[in-house]
Amino acid sequence: MPLSWPLTVDQFFAGLPIQKISCRLGRSETTSETGGGEIISHGMGTRLWRGRVVLDKDTHAYWAAVEAKLALLEQPGASLLLWDTRMRGTILDPDLALLGASAPVIGDLAANNRELGLSGLPAGYEISAGDLLGFTYGANPTRYAYHRVVVGSSADGSGVASNIEVIPYIRPGAQTGAAVTLGVPVLKARIATAEYGESRASLSEGGSFEWVQTLR
């Protein structure tokens, strides 16, 4: 059976020999200047996550399989799931041992689209600025929300953490009760550009690709 989109983490991303990775939220604005020297910002489109993956050297045999799927991902409409490999958990719970078997969900969504509350956390659990969180919403296709915490919160005795501010803003379609992944959420992306590297002796090296989030 042919592969379908998005490729799961295990189908491509998890097996890559990653040497370097970047993951940042792109800007989506233009500016204009008035005659009085005032700079005015104009929003345009949606802020999307983007980054670059630099691959380490490996054998030709391994690279052949990587190149096959990389070429497939350059097809129109192709996509993959990936995550920021620099994060293995939250800042104060780096291996998610404190979270354990808890299953956090969205408890409430603020009208400003910037804040949300989580329930289902261990009592006293800390959400810190810089933590990543994600959840899915919508259908046909399923969309992958991917957020970084700007202002954190502590769970109360009932496991509820309130007024967590995130970036980017929460998009329409998010719903209370949705399961939330803390620390290691995945996002859906497409390959923007790819370099296949070069070979010498029995090794290949120099491969890299740039990716950009897609909401479809």
pLDDT tens for each residue of 23-54 = 999 886 666 677 676 766 656 668 899 999 99
CATH topology of domain 9-83+187-213: Phosphorylase Kinase; domain 1 (3.30.200)
For residue 43, the model assigns a pLDDT of: 62
For residue 200, the model assigns a pLDDT of: 73
For residue 29, the model assigns a pLDDT of: 61
Burial letters for 149-166: b for 16+ Cβ neighbours within 10 Å, e otherwise? beebbebeeebbbbebbb
For residue 37, the model assigns a pLDDT of: 67
Closest by Cα among 2, 167, 187, 188 to 87 = 187
Tens of pLDDT, residue by residue over 43-82, are: 666 889 999 999 987 788 788 888 899 999 999 999 999 9
Output the pTM of the full model. 0.89
Residue keyed to tokens 């803003």: 169
User: What does the mean pLDDT of the chain come to?
Assistant: 91
CA distances from 179 to 105, 170, 197 (A): 4, 15, 39
For residue 31, the model assigns a pLDDT of: 61
Tens of pLDDT, residue by residue over 113-168, are: 999 999 999 999 999 999 999 999 998 899 999 999 999 999 999 999 999 999 99
